Amino acid sequence: MPASDKLAFLFCNMAVYGQWHSFCQLANKHVNSSLTTKNKIEMALKIQPLADRVLVEPQEAETKTASGLYIPDSAKEKPQKGKVVAVGKGKEDQKMTVKVGDTVLYGKYSGSELKFDGKDYLIMREDDILAII
Protein backbone atom coordinates (compact mmCIF):
# COMPACT_ATOMS: atom_id res chain seq x y z
CA MET A 1 0.00 0.00 0.00
CA PRO A 2 1.48 3.43 -0.96
CA ALA A 3 2.39 5.84 1.82
CA SER A 4 -0.44 8.23 0.91
CA ASP A 5 -2.97 5.41 1.30
CA LYS A 6 -1.51 4.43 4.68
CA LEU A 7 -1.71 8.04 5.86
CA ALA A 8 -5.33 8.38 4.73
CA PHE A 9 -6.20 5.10 6.44
CA LEU A 10 -4.50 6.28 9.66
CA PHE A 11 -6.42 9.58 9.64
CA CYS A 12 -9.69 7.74 9.14
CA ASN A 13 -9.00 5.41 12.04
CA MET A 14 -8.05 8.30 14.33
CA ALA A 15 -10.74 10.73 13.16
CA VAL A 16 -13.88 11.59 15.00
CA TYR A 17 -16.99 10.85 12.92
CA GLY A 18 -18.16 14.51 12.69
CA GLN A 19 -15.83 16.82 10.74
CA TRP A 20 -13.61 14.09 9.29
CA HIS A 21 -16.48 12.09 7.78
CA SER A 22 -16.23 13.56 4.26
CA PHE A 23 -12.43 13.27 4.30
CA CYS A 24 -12.69 9.62 5.27
CA GLN A 25 -15.14 8.92 2.44
CA LEU A 26 -12.71 10.42 -0.08
CA ALA A 27 -9.76 8.56 1.43
CA ASN A 28 -11.62 5.24 1.34
CA LYS A 29 -12.51 5.78 -2.33
CA HIS A 30 -8.84 6.44 -3.08
CA VAL A 31 -7.65 3.38 -1.15
CA ASN A 32 -10.27 1.15 -2.80
CA SER A 33 -9.48 2.47 -6.28
CA SER A 34 -5.77 1.77 -5.82
CA LEU A 35 -6.20 -1.99 -5.66
CA THR A 36 -3.87 -3.71 -8.09
CA THR A 37 -5.19 -5.12 -11.34
CA LYS A 38 -4.29 -8.59 -10.12
CA ASN A 39 -6.48 -8.22 -7.01
CA LYS A 40 -9.38 -6.86 -9.06
CA ILE A 41 -9.14 -9.77 -11.49
CA GLU A 42 -8.90 -12.36 -8.70
CA MET A 43 -11.94 -10.85 -6.97
CA ALA A 44 -13.89 -10.85 -10.23
CA LEU A 45 -12.83 -14.36 -11.25
CA LYS A 46 -13.27 -17.18 -8.82
CA ILE A 47 -11.12 -19.57 -10.86
CA GLN A 48 -7.79 -20.81 -9.52
CA PRO A 49 -5.89 -22.92 -12.05
CA LEU A 50 -4.17 -25.96 -10.57
CA ALA A 51 -0.50 -26.94 -10.81
CA ASP A 52 1.14 -25.52 -13.95
CA ARG A 53 -2.04 -24.38 -15.67
CA VAL A 54 -2.70 -20.84 -16.83
CA LEU A 55 -5.98 -19.06 -17.62
CA VAL A 56 -5.64 -16.79 -20.67
CA GLU A 57 -8.10 -14.29 -22.10
CA PRO A 58 -7.54 -14.37 -25.88
CA GLN A 59 -7.27 -11.08 -27.74
CA GLU A 60 -9.89 -10.26 -30.31
CA ALA A 61 -9.21 -11.51 -33.82
CA GLU A 62 -8.08 -8.86 -36.29
CA THR A 63 -11.03 -7.26 -38.07
CA LYS A 64 -9.02 -5.13 -40.48
CA THR A 65 -5.86 -5.72 -42.52
CA ALA A 66 -2.89 -3.35 -42.53
CA SER A 67 -4.07 -1.96 -45.87
CA GLY A 68 -7.54 -1.20 -44.44
CA LEU A 69 -9.62 -4.10 -45.77
CA TYR A 70 -12.19 -5.56 -43.40
CA ILE A 71 -11.93 -9.29 -42.72
CA PRO A 72 -15.25 -11.23 -42.66
CA ASP A 73 -15.96 -13.47 -39.65
CA SER A 74 -15.60 -16.61 -41.74
CA ALA A 75 -12.01 -15.69 -42.72
CA LYS A 76 -10.74 -14.60 -39.31
CA GLU A 77 -7.94 -16.66 -37.85
CA LYS A 78 -8.00 -17.97 -34.32
CA PRO A 79 -6.02 -15.53 -32.12
CA GLN A 80 -2.67 -16.74 -30.81
CA LYS A 81 -2.08 -13.91 -28.38
CA GLY A 82 -3.74 -13.22 -25.05
CA LYS A 83 -3.49 -11.85 -21.53
CA VAL A 84 -2.84 -14.06 -18.51
CA VAL A 85 -5.76 -13.76 -16.08
CA ALA A 86 -4.91 -16.42 -13.48
CA VAL A 87 -1.94 -18.68 -12.77
CA GLY A 88 -1.60 -21.94 -10.86
CA LYS A 89 0.95 -22.43 -8.10
CA GLY A 90 3.29 -24.53 -10.24
CA LYS A 91 4.74 -27.96 -9.57
CA GLU A 92 7.09 -28.96 -6.77
CA ASP A 93 10.17 -29.00 -8.99
CA GLN A 94 9.15 -26.21 -11.38
CA LYS A 95 8.08 -22.65 -10.53
CA MET A 96 5.74 -20.66 -12.76
CA THR A 97 7.39 -18.28 -15.21
CA VAL A 98 4.31 -16.33 -16.30
CA LYS A 99 2.36 -14.06 -13.99
CA VAL A 100 -1.04 -12.37 -14.05
CA GLY A 101 -1.10 -9.49 -16.51
CA ASP A 102 1.52 -10.89 -18.92
CA THR A 103 0.71 -10.86 -22.62
CA VAL A 104 1.64 -14.22 -24.11
CA LEU A 105 1.85 -16.03 -27.43
CA TYR A 106 0.57 -19.60 -27.58
CA GLY A 107 0.07 -22.32 -30.18
CA LYS A 108 -2.90 -22.14 -32.53
CA TYR A 109 -4.60 -25.20 -31.04
CA SER A 110 -3.28 -24.89 -27.47
CA GLY A 111 -5.46 -25.18 -24.41
CA SER A 112 -9.11 -25.89 -23.80
CA GLU A 113 -11.77 -23.29 -24.48
CA LEU A 114 -13.79 -22.19 -21.48
CA LYS A 115 -16.70 -19.78 -21.16
CA PHE A 116 -17.08 -18.12 -17.75
CA ASP A 117 -19.40 -15.20 -16.89
CA GLY A 118 -20.04 -14.57 -20.59
CA LYS A 119 -16.35 -14.27 -21.52
CA ASP A 120 -14.19 -16.70 -23.47
CA TYR A 121 -10.99 -18.01 -21.90
CA LEU A 122 -8.39 -20.65 -22.62
CA ILE A 123 -6.93 -22.83 -19.92
CA MET A 124 -3.59 -24.38 -20.82
CA ARG A 125 -0.39 -25.71 -19.37
CA GLU A 126 2.49 -23.27 -19.05
CA ASP A 127 4.42 -25.48 -21.51
CA ASP A 128 1.87 -24.53 -24.23
CA ILE A 129 2.91 -20.87 -23.94
CA LEU A 130 5.55 -20.02 -26.53
CA ALA A 131 6.62 -16.54 -25.39
CA ILE A 132 5.90 -13.60 -23.10
CA ILE A 133 5.68 -10.33 -25.03
pLDDT confidence band for 76 (50 / 70 / 90): confident
Asked if 90 and 51 touch (Cβ cutoff 8 Å), the reply is yes
Burial 54-64 (b: 16+ CB within 10 A, else e): bbbbbeeeeee
Is the whole model's pTM more than 0.85, yes or no? no
For the stretch 128-131, contacts whose Cβ atoms lie closer than 8 Å and that sit 24 or more positions apart, written own/partner, are 129/54, 129/98, 129/104, 129/105, 130/104, 130/105, 130/106, 131/104, 131/105
Show the domains of the chain with their CATH numbers. Answer: 3-34 (no CATH), 40-132 (2.30.33.40)
pLDDT on residue 94: 87
What separation in angstroms does the CA of 68 have from each of 34, 63, 75, 98, 112?
39, 9, 15, 34, 32
Residue whose C-alpha is closest to residue 77's, from 119, 109, 120, 122: 109
With a cut of 70, say whether residue 3 has pLDDT above it.
no
The string of pLDDT tens digits covering residues 8-52 is: 554 455 444 444 445 445 445 544 444 444 444 444 568 889 989
CA torsion through residues 55, 47, 63, 76, sign: positive
